[in-house]
Structure 1
Amino acid sequence: MAKPVADAEIDVDTSASLPQRVTAEIFGTFLLVGGVIGTALFSSPNTGLLGVALAVGLAVLAGAYAVGHISGGHFNPAVTLGAAASGRFAWKDTPYYIVGQIIGGALATTVLFVIASNGPSGMLAGFQADGFASNGYGDHSPGGFGLISVIVTEVVLTAVFLYVILGVTDRRSATGFAPLAIGLTLTLLHLVAIPVSNASFNPARSIATAIYGGGDALLQLWVFIVAPIVGALIAGFTYSALFDSKKSA
């Protein structure tokens, strides 16, 4: 997500058509979800929690530099809603972005499902038995954390993530470093949240894994749609009042 052209938007290319921008969001979300979930499924036995956290940061960084200049590089319905709440993105385009992000995430896990289905004997069954890297609470939390802990984690850390995004894309911030700051922040937040909720902050990511994660993942999915959106809206509606010197004055 690069420096905004103006204070009103998070670097959306106004010369690109809406279908082009939505396509960029599909691609970026595909890259993000495919990178983090692919690492969680195939590589985490060797790389551990740090490897998964680094994968999501690298995926966001690559996606932001690849297509962020076209669409703003949201790759996440919570980011889109938070940006709209802050006045930095058009509400009228929000549904199209969200649909594109959900499609991109679902395509990514579908590709991973196909790969696993042709992998070693029992691989796919094992992935599905473990929830296909879905988010969860209680027995489905990696660390056994309860619902309240998971909700607090997802709301607070998503809000922190949005504050960082809005800050590094602010008209006053240094140019050129936004994707790096956003990717590193997401890595940090995943290091905190993976043991708690398996780290969502992104409804598209949670929907994408729940599709193949089984009934329990689908039953608990509502938390990972609602909580990140609440956190993002809190940040979006309060950013200007808290951090914009013109508004404060």
Structure 2
Amino acid sequence: MEIKSSTKFVAELIGTFGLVLFGCGAAAVAGATTLGGLSGLGLLGIALAFGLSVVVFAYAIGGISGCHINPAVTIGVLVAGKISVKDAVIYIVAQLIGALLGALVLQQILHGQISGFNSGEWAYGSNGWGKGYQNEYGITAAFLTEAVLTFIFLFVILATTSRVGNSTMAGLAIGLTLALIHLVAIPITGTSVNPTRSFGPAILAGGQALSQLWLFIVAPVAGAILAAIVWLVLKPKGTLSR
């Protein structure tokens, strides 16, 4: 059955919207200790929020668009020959809009605090590095982390969704991989491996988050392209990827 481009557009928009709202929302809203004394989600909780978001939308919209919800994934899949240039452009535009809308809703929720909300630098779950961010890792560590972990993420996606992979469990495997990635990278960059996940919050946060956004575009895309090339070389001959 042929799926219309407009349907794929809406699916990717909604999926990316949900990923940003749930993932960045977990970091910005529930990640910190509440006034009532309840402990926040912590590292594991935030990692699971991102990972489970991917699992949920993989099964919700995977049959429509493949559930990329990430320009690095779309570009990697394009390099691997599994999507057309036209669809790749449609996906990326949808992802950018969805991420911005997700961050905008999160912003409005946070500013609804009666006691007032002080956004500060790197607000709304923004990614970053350097002085004042998380454990203050430098730019080299940040770039290496994002590139290598995106490489792993994209390789898992290509392998599990191929004809030699277990496609029925692909959504779960991909989501768990993203959760593992967050366990490593949250203290370093807040974890992107997804340019639009960084784009939405950075646009609204401005300042350092916006000035550092380039790294969270370049590093994930570089890692995804390399993963696609490696997959094309290593995949079993005589098989066609889905």
Give yes or no for TM over 0.5. Answer: yes
Per the TM alignment, residue 90 of structure 1 is displaced from its structure 2 partner at its CA by: 1.2
Per the TM alignment, residue 40 of structure 1 is displaced from its structure 2 partner at its CA by: 0.5
Does structure 1 conserve the Cα–Cα contact (< 8 Å) formed by 2:121 and 2:207?
Answer: no
Per the TM alignment, residue 130 of structure 1 is displaced from its structure 2 partner at its CA by: 4.5
In the superposition, the TM-score normalised over structure 1's length comes to: 0.90
Aligned equivalents of 2:204, 2:23: Cα separation in 1: 15
Please state if 1:236 is matched with 2:228: yes
Aligned to 2:171: 179
Q: 1:140 to 1:91 in 2, by over 3 A?
A: farther
Aligned equivalents of 1:140, 1:36: Cα separation in 2: 22
Please state if 1:147 is matched with 2:134: no
Does structure 2 conserve the Cα–Cα contact (< 8 Å) formed by 1:128 and 1:214?
Answer: no
Residue from 104, 120, 138 that aligns with 1:110: 104
Aligned equivalents of 1:130, 1:164: Cα separation in 2: 30
Does structure 1 conserve the Cα–Cα contact (< 8 Å) formed by 2:122 and 2:208?
Answer: no
Per the TM alignment, residue 234 of structure 1 is displaced from its structure 2 partner at its CA by: 0.6
Q: For residues 195-224 of structure 1, what are the alpha-carbon distances to aligned partners after superposition, in whole Å with 9 as ceiling and x for unaligned?
A: 111100000010101012221111111000
Aligned to 1:167: 159
Does structure 2 conserve the Cα–Cα contact (< 8 Å) formed by 1:133 and 1:213?
Answer: no
Aligned to 1:3: none
Q: 1:78 to 1:140 in 2, by over 3 A?
A: farther
* Equivalent residue letter for 2:25: G
Q: For residues 132-160 of structure 1, what are the alpha-carbon distances to aligned partners after superposition, in whole Å with 9 as ceiling and x for unaligned?
A: 22111112531110000000000010010
Aligned to 2:29: 42
Please state if 1:214 is matched with 2:201: no
Q: 1:130 to 1:89 in 2, by over 3 A?
A: closer
Aligned equivalents of 2:122, 2:160: Cα separation in 1: 37
Aligned equivalents of 2:45, 2:7: Cα separation in 1: 32
* Equivalent residue letter for 1:156: V
Percent identity of the aligned residues?
Answer: 44
Greater per-residue helix proportion: 1
Please state if 1:121 is matched with 2:108: no
Per the TM alignment, residue 95 of structure 1 is displaced from its structure 2 partner at its CA by: 1.2
Cα RMSD over matched residues? 1.3
Please state if 1:94 is matched with 2:88: yes
Please state if 1:18 is matched with 2:5: yes
Runs of 5+ consecutive residues of structure 2 not aligned to the other structure: 33-39
Count of aligned residue pairs for this structure pair: 232
